[in-house]
Amino acid sequence: MIKSLDLFLQEIDEGDWAVISSATDYPENWVIPDHSHEKHQLLYATEGVMVVHSAQNQWTVPPNRGFWIPCGHVHSLRCVGPLKMRSVFVRPDSFPNLPTETKAVSISPLLSELIKASVSLKPPYAEDSRDARIMHLILDELALLPALPLLLPLPTDPRVHRICLAWQDEPGDASTVADWSERLSLDQKTIQRLFRKETGMTFGQWRQQARLLLALERIAVGEKVIDIALELGYESPSAFTSMFKKQFGKTPSHFFR
């Protein structure tokens, strides 16, 4: 059931409870526009991929991983495939040890089961009850959320931004720094310097990360690895799998189990 976004956000932000969970399902390609919350939020999709945007960053979050958003951080979200979202909202003054940075995170089996159990619970939670203990355990787990390398920094410099937009239109493009140097009439060293300044990555590192995150989207909706590898400019599926494992620690097939 999809609830009106404005109504849902109003209910969440006006509530006085310290922590609450909710379950909302969205259809394929559903977009939630820029917004923020007065509470911290953990997004967790049991099915589907979330692509989350802030002003200068993009995260691609596969199923069974999560996304942590401190209160006040403006963000938007796009659903890749139908999305089964589970959210946890925490009042900022209720637990001081929660993360302060926006990040994609690993969800432990324990936290996963706690979130699934909590969505049916309604506040107020009786002191020392099962409901209260579940919510307290969730808070303890939120303080330990490990970050995942699913971030793609987005440059603001118009010259570097042009390169990134062109690649997003044609992700298999194999243009080198030398090629872009000629097109932009810009020194190669300047392009590399701008990439490092704007994204913290080299030209090659940014393109590699962008390819792998796009691959996550495509694998999640059922596309074949061989097709993805060739469309994204890899020489072979094995070359793609090797780079995927190097970045994410697992092969594509194991990553989505």
pLDDT at 15: 52
Dist CA 215 CA 105 (whole Å): 19
Residue 48: what residue type?
A: G
Assigned CATH for 5-142: 2.60.120.280
Give me the amino acid identity at 209: Q
Q: Which of 12-26, 126-140, 154-168, 231-245 has the lowest mean pLDDT?
A: 12-26
Q: What is the rounded average pLDDT of the residues 113-127?
A: 92
Q: pLDDT value at position 95?
A: 85
pLDDT at 124: 86
Question: Is the pLDDT assigned to residue 10 strictly greater than 80?
Answer: no
Q: What is the pLDDT of residues 103-112, one digit of tens each?
A: 999 999 999 9
Domain limits of the chain?
A: 5-142, 155-255
pLDDT of res. 16: 60
Rounded to two decimals, what is the model's pTM?
0.87
pLDDT at position 195 over 60:
yes
Q: How far apart are CA 175 and CA 163, in angstroms?
A: 10
pLDDT of residue 215: 93
Neighbours of 65 (CB within 10 A): 21
- Tokens 């259809």 belong to residue: 27
Average pLDDT, rounded, for the chain: 90
202: pLDDT confidence band, cut at 50, 70 and 90?
Answer: very high
Peptide bond into 124 cis (omega under 30): yes
Pull the structure tokens for residue 192: 């590399």
Instruction: Kindly state which CATH superfamily the domain 155-255 is placed in.
Output: Homeodomain-like (1.10.10.60)
d(CA 35, CA 75): 6
The conformational region for residue 130 under phi > 0 = left, psi -120 to 50 = alpha, else beta, is: alpha
Answer whether residue 8 shows pLDDT above 60: no
